Amino acid sequence: MARNELLSRSFMFLSFATAGLLIAAQWQTGSPALSFRLFPDSQSQTRLLATHANISTAAARTVRLVIDLSDREVLVYKQDKLQATYPVAVGQAGWETPTGTFKVTDMERNPKWQHPITQAVVLPGEDNPLGSRWIGFWSDNMGQVGFHGTNQEDGIGQAVSHGCVRMFNEDIEAMYAQVAVGTTVVVKP
Protein backbone atom coordinates (compact mmCIF):
# COMPACT_ATOMS: atom_id res chain seq x y z
CA MET A 1 0.00 0.00 0.00
CA ALA A 2 1.44 3.39 -0.95
CA ARG A 3 2.37 5.75 1.86
CA ASN A 4 -0.13 8.43 0.71
CA GLU A 5 -2.95 5.89 0.55
CA LEU A 6 -2.08 4.66 4.04
CA LEU A 7 -2.10 8.23 5.35
CA SER A 8 -5.40 8.93 3.62
CA ARG A 9 -7.04 5.83 5.13
CA SER A 10 -5.64 6.65 8.57
CA PHE A 11 -7.01 10.16 8.30
CA MET A 12 -10.44 8.86 7.30
CA PHE A 13 -10.48 6.41 10.21
CA LEU A 14 -9.58 9.17 12.67
CA SER A 15 -12.18 11.49 11.15
CA PHE A 16 -14.97 8.96 11.49
CA ALA A 17 -13.81 7.96 14.98
CA THR A 18 -13.88 11.63 16.01
CA ALA A 19 -17.37 12.02 14.52
CA GLY A 20 -18.54 8.99 16.47
CA LEU A 21 -17.17 10.38 19.72
CA LEU A 22 -18.78 13.78 19.09
CA ILE A 23 -22.13 12.18 18.34
CA ALA A 24 -21.89 10.02 21.48
CA ALA A 25 -21.00 13.06 23.60
CA GLN A 26 -23.89 15.01 22.07
CA TRP A 27 -26.33 12.18 22.79
CA GLN A 28 -25.04 11.83 26.37
CA THR A 29 -25.20 15.55 27.21
CA GLY A 30 -28.20 16.58 25.14
CA SER A 31 -26.19 19.39 23.53
CA PRO A 32 -27.43 21.18 20.42
CA ALA A 33 -27.49 19.05 17.30
CA LEU A 34 -24.35 18.78 15.24
CA SER A 35 -24.27 17.72 11.63
CA PHE A 36 -21.31 16.17 9.91
CA ARG A 37 -20.39 16.60 6.25
CA LEU A 38 -17.55 15.19 4.16
CA PHE A 39 -15.60 17.58 1.92
CA PRO A 40 -12.88 16.68 -0.59
CA ASP A 41 -9.79 18.83 -0.16
CA SER A 42 -7.22 19.95 -2.72
CA GLN A 43 -5.20 16.73 -2.33
CA SER A 44 -8.14 14.40 -3.11
CA GLN A 45 -8.44 13.42 0.52
CA THR A 46 -11.61 13.82 2.52
CA ARG A 47 -12.18 16.12 5.46
CA LEU A 48 -14.95 15.75 8.02
CA LEU A 49 -16.43 19.02 9.25
CA ALA A 50 -18.82 19.38 12.16
CA THR A 51 -21.27 22.26 11.99
CA HIS A 52 -23.93 23.49 14.40
CA ALA A 53 -27.26 22.45 12.94
CA ASN A 54 -29.01 25.75 13.64
CA ILE A 55 -26.50 28.39 12.62
CA SER A 56 -23.21 28.71 10.78
CA THR A 57 -19.96 30.15 12.06
CA ALA A 58 -20.39 32.88 9.42
CA ALA A 59 -23.47 34.01 11.35
CA ALA A 60 -21.37 34.21 14.53
CA ARG A 61 -19.20 36.79 12.78
CA THR A 62 -22.15 38.94 11.66
CA VAL A 63 -24.12 38.99 14.93
CA ARG A 64 -23.02 41.05 17.94
CA LEU A 65 -24.66 41.26 21.37
CA VAL A 66 -24.34 44.46 23.41
CA ILE A 67 -25.38 44.45 27.06
CA ASP A 68 -26.05 47.88 28.54
CA LEU A 69 -25.87 47.29 32.30
CA SER A 70 -27.21 50.74 33.22
CA ASP A 71 -30.27 50.39 30.96
CA ARG A 72 -30.56 46.68 31.76
CA GLU A 73 -31.05 45.54 28.21
CA VAL A 74 -29.29 43.51 25.55
CA LEU A 75 -29.21 44.73 21.97
CA VAL A 76 -28.81 42.25 19.11
CA TYR A 77 -27.02 43.58 16.03
CA LYS A 78 -26.67 41.80 12.71
CA GLN A 79 -24.16 43.38 10.34
CA ASP A 80 -24.27 46.49 12.57
CA LYS A 81 -28.05 46.89 12.19
CA LEU A 82 -30.15 46.67 15.34
CA GLN A 83 -32.35 43.56 15.13
CA ALA A 84 -33.85 43.31 18.63
CA THR A 85 -33.70 44.72 22.15
CA TYR A 86 -34.52 42.60 25.19
CA PRO A 87 -34.87 43.61 28.87
CA VAL A 88 -32.50 41.78 31.23
CA ALA A 89 -31.61 41.35 34.89
CA VAL A 90 -27.92 41.80 35.77
CA GLY A 91 -25.54 41.05 38.62
CA GLN A 92 -26.30 42.37 42.08
CA ALA A 93 -23.80 44.20 44.32
CA GLY A 94 -20.88 41.88 45.05
CA TRP A 95 -21.78 39.71 42.04
CA GLU A 96 -21.53 42.30 39.27
CA THR A 97 -21.74 41.22 35.63
CA PRO A 98 -18.20 41.55 34.20
CA THR A 99 -17.66 44.35 31.68
CA GLY A 100 -15.59 44.15 28.51
CA THR A 101 -15.64 42.32 25.19
CA PHE A 102 -16.11 38.56 25.17
CA LYS A 103 -17.09 35.70 22.86
CA VAL A 104 -19.89 33.15 23.29
CA THR A 105 -18.09 30.04 24.56
CA ASP A 106 -20.93 27.55 24.95
CA MET A 107 -24.63 27.15 24.33
CA GLU A 108 -27.06 24.68 25.86
CA ARG A 109 -30.76 23.87 25.61
CA ASN A 110 -32.51 22.92 28.86
CA PRO A 111 -29.38 23.32 31.00
CA LYS A 112 -28.71 21.97 34.47
CA TRP A 113 -27.89 24.58 37.11
CA GLN A 114 -25.44 24.38 39.98
CA HIS A 115 -25.91 26.89 42.81
CA PRO A 116 -22.77 29.05 43.06
CA ILE A 117 -22.65 28.86 46.86
CA THR A 118 -24.23 25.55 47.94
CA GLN A 119 -23.20 23.61 44.79
CA ALA A 120 -26.68 21.98 44.74
CA VAL A 121 -27.66 20.83 41.22
CA VAL A 122 -31.09 21.58 39.74
CA LEU A 123 -32.14 19.55 36.69
CA PRO A 124 -33.95 21.09 33.69
CA GLY A 125 -37.60 21.95 34.29
CA GLU A 126 -39.89 24.54 35.85
CA ASP A 127 -37.79 24.91 39.00
CA ASN A 128 -34.53 25.51 37.13
CA PRO A 129 -33.30 29.11 37.57
CA LEU A 130 -31.59 28.98 34.12
CA GLY A 131 -34.86 28.55 32.27
CA SER A 132 -34.77 26.92 28.85
CA ARG A 133 -31.47 28.20 27.38
CA TRP A 134 -27.88 29.00 28.36
CA ILE A 135 -25.43 31.14 26.35
CA GLY A 136 -22.10 31.33 28.22
CA PHE A 137 -19.56 34.10 27.54
CA TRP A 138 -17.26 34.41 30.60
CA SER A 139 -15.48 32.02 32.95
CA ASP A 140 -12.75 32.25 35.57
CA ASN A 141 -12.45 28.47 36.12
CA MET A 142 -14.46 28.87 39.33
CA GLY A 143 -17.70 30.09 37.83
CA GLN A 144 -19.39 31.07 34.60
CA VAL A 145 -21.44 34.02 33.45
CA GLY A 146 -23.85 33.97 30.57
CA PHE A 147 -27.32 34.71 29.29
CA HIS A 148 -30.12 32.47 30.47
CA GLY A 149 -33.84 32.27 30.95
CA THR A 150 -35.34 32.37 34.41
CA ASN A 151 -38.07 30.98 36.62
CA GLN A 152 -38.20 34.37 38.43
CA GLU A 153 -39.35 36.73 35.70
CA ASP A 154 -40.30 39.47 38.17
CA GLY A 155 -36.54 40.16 38.59
CA ILE A 156 -36.09 41.20 34.94
CA GLY A 157 -34.98 44.84 34.82
CA GLN A 158 -33.22 44.64 38.19
CA ALA A 159 -29.74 43.86 39.56
CA VAL A 160 -30.55 40.50 41.18
CA SER A 161 -28.35 37.78 39.65
CA HIS A 162 -25.01 36.22 40.62
CA GLY A 163 -23.43 37.97 37.60
CA CYS A 164 -25.44 36.34 34.84
CA VAL A 165 -27.77 38.09 32.43
CA ARG A 166 -31.30 36.82 33.03
CA MET A 167 -33.91 37.08 30.29
CA PHE A 168 -37.54 36.16 29.75
CA ASN A 169 -37.59 32.57 28.47
CA GLU A 170 -39.22 33.52 25.15
CA ASP A 171 -36.56 36.23 24.64
CA ILE A 172 -33.59 33.93 25.34
CA GLU A 173 -35.07 31.36 22.98
CA ALA A 174 -35.36 33.97 20.20
CA MET A 175 -31.81 35.24 20.82
CA TYR A 176 -30.41 31.69 21.06
CA ALA A 177 -31.58 31.05 17.48
CA GLN A 178 -29.56 34.08 16.24
CA VAL A 179 -26.15 33.42 17.82
CA ALA A 180 -23.43 30.77 17.77
CA VAL A 181 -20.27 29.92 19.65
CA GLY A 182 -17.88 32.72 18.74
CA THR A 183 -20.49 35.52 18.65
CA THR A 184 -19.10 38.75 20.14
CA VAL A 185 -20.61 39.95 23.44
CA VAL A 186 -19.88 43.52 24.58
CA VAL A 187 -20.81 44.40 28.16
CA LYS A 188 -20.97 48.15 28.86
CA PRO A 189 -21.36 49.73 32.33
Please tell me the distance from the alpha carbon of residue 130 to that of residue 122, in angstroms, as a whole number: 9
Beta bridge partners of 105: none
Residue 80 CA neighbour count, 13 Å, CB half: 0
How much is the pLDDT for 127?
Answer: 87
How much is the pLDDT for 60?
Answer: 73
Domain boundaries, the chain: 3-52, 57-188
How much is the pLDDT for 49?
Answer: 36
pLDDT digits (tens, 9 = 90+) for 59-79: 678 999 999 999 999 999 999
Q: Measured in Å, how far apart are the chain's first and last C-alpha atoms?
A: 63
Could you tell me the CATH superfamily of domain 57-188? Answer: L,D-transpeptidase catalytic domain-like (2.40.440.10)
How much is the pLDDT for 115?
Answer: 83
Could you say which residues of the chain have pLDDT below 50?
Answer: 6-54
Please tell me the pTM assigned to this model.
Answer: 0.69
Could you list the active site residues? Answer: 148, 164
Strand duo 81-87 + 90-91: pairing: unpaired
pLDDT digits (tens, 9 = 90+) for 138-160: 998 888 999 999 999 999 999 99
How much is the pLDDT for 114?
Answer: 87
Q: Which residues contact 6 (CB under 8 A, 6 or more apart)?
A: none
